[in-house]
Amino acid sequence: MADQRTIGLLGGTGPQGRGLALRLALAGHRVLLGSRDAERAAGIVADLLGGRDLPIEGVANPDAAQGAEVVFLVFPYAGQAEVLPGLAGPIGDKVVVDVINPLGWDDRGPYLLEVPEGSAAEQAAALLPRARVVAAFHHAAPKLLADPERQVETDVLVVSDDPAAKGLVLELADQIPGCRGVDAGPLRLARQLEGFTAVIVGINRRHKIHAGLRISRLGDDKRRRLNAELRPADDREEGP
Ligand SMILES: NC(=O)c1ccc[n+]([C@@H]2O[C@H](COP(=O)([O-])OP(=O)(O)OC[C@H]3O[C@@H](n4cnc5c(N)ncnc54)[C@H](OP(=O)(O)O)[C@@H]3O)[C@@H](O)[C@H]2O)c1
């Protein structure tokens, strides 16, 4: 079993946060599911667990930021500028995984909003100057994440300027059945990942599915070897 981590989900009470909490806990990690209201988080965790014995706790966002080693941002784009400045202290230089898709909707469907910093993830990096920001999991369908009987069936494209942080998140992606973590380059490409979600959401609505995204012709052995090389040598899993 890979290293057990404590993972905080800020805004974890929505569909994306609940689904990720479940899958990360099933992968063996301890999860602090955060909310602006700790009582609401506790109620949502009780529903999510439904009697299952998994290490997920409902807490206030600052406690999730403080107690976790890896911090996921899973609130809406509008929340980022509200929440992050107050959490720069507890987040410090931790790995931050920005899952946010800054999308708007009009009568033609979803579209990418203009973000002054280029992307939601680059905005997070500007608001949390010490954090090791990674953007990932934009295309993982919450409906599939929430159902452990099903494969999530998507490649998780991961971008960051911090190789070790990227390596850690690639490993987390690989631990979710049906997901493959793919190194997709530097953080400046986050905008492309965030915007492509508008295409996927449109496909989902037209075809009534929960689509994912697959990179073709990407061999698994080489992909895993390259992903592992991003991790610090003393933090790599032993091979089989
Ligand atoms: N749903 C998807 O298909 C999907 C897929 C991939 C990525 N994403 C991205 O993942 C994020 C979460 O998606 P979601 O559908 O789970 O979102 P959501 O249900 O709209 O929001 C998640 C939680 O964020 C908190 N929140 C709402 N407004 C906030 C604000 N202004 N400031 C701080 N916290 C706020 C709320 O929790 P409390 O009231 O408990 O604090 C809410 O339960 C989004 O950024 C989305 O773009 C979504």
Atom of ligand 1 nearest to the CA of 75: 24
Residue 147 contacts by C-beta under 8 Å, 6 or more apart in sequence? Answer: none
pLDDT at site 237: 56
Contact 50, 73 (CB under 8 A): no
Q: What is the residue extent of each domain of the chain?
A: 6-233
Per-residue pLDDT at 24:
98
> Is residue 2 scored above 80 in pLDDT?
no
* For the CA of 139, the nearest atom of ligand 1: 6
pLDDT in tens, 116-174: 999 999 999 999 999 999 999 999 999 999 999 999 999 999 999 999 999 999 999 99
User: pLDDT tens digits for 169-207?
Assistant: 999 999 999 999 999 999 999 999 999 999 999 999 999
Tell the residue nearest (CA) to atom 38 of ligand 1.
35
Cβ of 79 less than 6 Å from ligand 1: yes
pLDDT category at 239 given cuts 50, 70, 90 is very low
Contacts of 13 (CB under 8 A, 6+ apart): 33, 35, 40, 41, 44
Residue 233 has a pLDDT of: 75
Mean pLDDT for the stretch of residues 213-238? 87
Distance 144 CA to ligand 1 centre (A): 17
pLDDT reported for residue 236 = 61
| Averaged pLDDT for residues 35-43 | 98
Q: Stretch 12-35: mean pLDDT, rounded?
A: 98
Instruction: Say if ligand 1 is within 6 A of residue 191 CB.
Output: no
In which band, very low, low, confident or very high, does the pLDDT at 215 lie, cut at 50, 70 and 90? very high
Q: Which of 38-47, 52-61, 101-110, 224-233 is the least confident region?
A: 224-233
pTM of the model: 0.96
- pLDDT of 122 reads 98
With cut-offs at 50, 70 and 90, classify the pLDDT of residue 75.
very high
How high is the mean pLDDT of the chain?
A: 95
Q: Which of 74, 80, 103, 158 to mutate to test the pocket of ligand 1 (most atoms within 8 A of CB)?
A: 74
Q: Which CATH class is domain 6-233?
A: alpha beta
Q: Where are the beta strands (DSSP E) in the chain?
A: 6-10, 30-35, 56-60, 70-73, 95-98, 103-106, 109-112, 132-135, 154-160, 179-185
Q: Which of 116, 120, 112 is nearest to 79 (CA)?
A: 120
- Please give the angle made by the CA atoms of 101, 148 and 196, to the nearest 5 degrees: 20
Do 179 and 173 touch, CB atoms closer than 8 A? Answer: yes
The two three-digit tokens of residue 155, written as one number? 């490649």
Q: Report the alpha-carbon distance of residue 15 to residue 18 in Å, rounded.
A: 5
Q: Which of 53, 59, 52, 61 is nearest to 80 (CA)?
A: 61
